[in-house]
Amino acid sequence: MRCMLIGAMALFACEGEPDPEAVQEAQNACIRECRARVAKNEDLSAGPCLSDALPGGLIAPDFVCDVAHDPRQDVDDEDENQCQAYKDDRADYFVEVDPSCSFIRAE
């Protein structure tokens, strides 16, 4: 009984956390997509979502890719700059990069 209780507590504590390898895969994919957009001279200053336009809308399983600013700016919170897949619960996590494609965070 004790092991089952400890196991259940561990499962509960870990629930909702993405696999570290998936986070790294999503981070790398987001940076690649951002760099591809910059190479095409796209203006990323408004903080657009980058992954909803990709096939399937996701950069990695359960992740979207969003451009934001660090520190955060008002434009980052505008509805049109949010990833629809994340807002619709089709993705559970996001990766944020800044307009120059530097990693900000993954959650």
Domain boundaries, the chain: 18-106
Which DSSP string corresponds to 16-69? TPPPHHHHHHHHHHHHHHHHHHHHTT---TT--BSSTTSGGG-SBTTEEEEE--
**pLDDT tens column, 54-76:** 556 667 778 999 999 999 999 99
Lowest pLDDT segment from 8-17, 50-59, 75-84, 96-105: 8-17
- Which among 18, 6, 8, 15 has a CA at the least distance from the CA of 62? 18
pLDDT in tens, 4-24: 333 333 333 344 788 899 899
pLDDT at 53: 58
Q: Select from 32, 104, 106 the least CA-distant residue to 70.
A: 104
**pLDDT for residue 91:** 87
Consecutive H or E run containing 2 = helix 2-14
